Amino acid sequence: MLSFDEILMRLKDILSNEIGERKVLDRDVAEALGIAPAYFAVLKKRGSVPLAQVADFCAGRKISINWLLYDQSPRSLEESTEKFATIRYFRQINASAGNGAINWEERYETIRIDEALVKLLGGRRHLKYIDALEVKGDSMEPLLYDGDIVAVDRSRQEIRNGGIYVLRIDEELFVKQIDIIRKNEWVCNSFNTIYPAMRVEPSDLHIIGEAVAVMQRHPL
């Protein structure tokens, strides 16, 4: 990070366009940051940059804080950032590969994926349809293992015979292979032969989306 004095000079350069002809003083910077001039003088003596206030200063003026603090050009940051993308990961919502998992919390976090996976999932514009869920249970072994994280494409809700789908039956989520026996009868299959197939009517379930990739394999 740049020194306090270097950052202060950049702040003064920015404020000079707002203040006009007169010289920008330390108290002008303190006022712009919302800090009492006396306390700003203490921070200057210590060389302690008020990061929260500087972040708000940059956000309000649409200035890159990385440029202000680290002398990094915005374009260089864009080039690095473009190598990665993020999707929603519902850690608390489990797609059960066993007897079903009832989940009440729907808070999510974001996980970063690389360009190869972005292409596999349909490109950056398609990522708005992609969510990540954790598999619970062993009924889909050896295809999916307990703890695997799967990418679910919510745009793929029309059943393809033999496809792997995340689906909801009542308040339980499952990940299953679906076979269409006839128009009003589907079979939800497990890969693990100790689990029996579930015969269901299409009206009894809701398709969340198709499982299109294993994003993270749980260590065996």
Secondary structure, 3-state, the chain: CCCHHHHHHHHHHHHHHHHCCCCCCHHHHHHHHCCCHHHHHHHHHHCCCCHHHHHHHHHHHCCCHHHHHHCCCHHHHHHHHCCEEEEEEEEEEEEECCCCEECCCCCCEEEEEEHHHHHHCCCHHHHHHEEEEEEECCCCCCCCCCCCEEEEECCCCCCCCCCEEEEEECCEEEEEEEEEEECCEEEEECCCCCCCCEEECHHHCEEEEEEEEEEECCCC
Check pLDDT > 50 for residue 104. Answer: no
Least confident of 4-13, 14-23, 95-104, 172-181: 95-104
pLDDT tens digits for 59-83? 998 888 888 898 877 666 555 555 6
CA gap 179, 32 in Å, rounded: 64
Average pLDDT on 160-180 reads 89
**CB atoms closer than 10 angstroms to residue 210:** 22
User: What does pLDDT average to over the chain?
Assistant: 85
How confident is the model at residue 81, as a pLDDT? 55
Average pLDDT on 142-154 reads 91
How confident is the model at residue 76, as a pLDDT? 60
pLDDT tens digits for 117-139? 888 888 888 998 999 988 888 99
The percentage of residues in the chain with a pLDDT greater than 70, rounded to a whole number, is 90
What's this model's pTM, rounded to 2 decimal places? Answer: 0.60
Structure tokens at 1: 């990070």
How confident is the model at residue 216, as a pLDDT? 76
4-80 — its CATH code?
1.10.260
For the stretch 98-105, contacts whose Cβ atoms lie closer than 8 Å and that sit 24 or more positions apart, written own/partner, are: 98/136, 98/137, 98/138, 98/139, 98/195, 99/137, 100/169, 100/172, 100/173, 100/174, 101/136, 101/137, 101/172, 101/173, 102/171, 102/172, 103/173
The percentage of residues in the chain with a pLDDT greater than 90, rounded to a whole number, is 41
Query: Dihedral of the CA atoms 111, 116, 117, 121 (nearest 10)?
Result: 130
Answer yes or no: are the C-beta atoms of 209 and 195 closer than 8 Å: no
CA gap 114, 116 in Å, rounded: 6
Q: Which residue has the tokens 């080039």?
A: 79
How confident is the model at residue 140, as a pLDDT? 92
Check pLDDT > 90 for residue 42. Answer: yes
Check pLDDT > 90 for residue 165. Answer: yes
**Homologous superfamily assigned to 84-216:** Umud Fragment, subunit A (2.10.109.10)
Burial class (CB in 10 A: 0-12, 13-18, 19+), 178: buried
Residue 116 or residue 50, greater confidence: 50
Domain boundaries in the chain? 4-80, 84-216
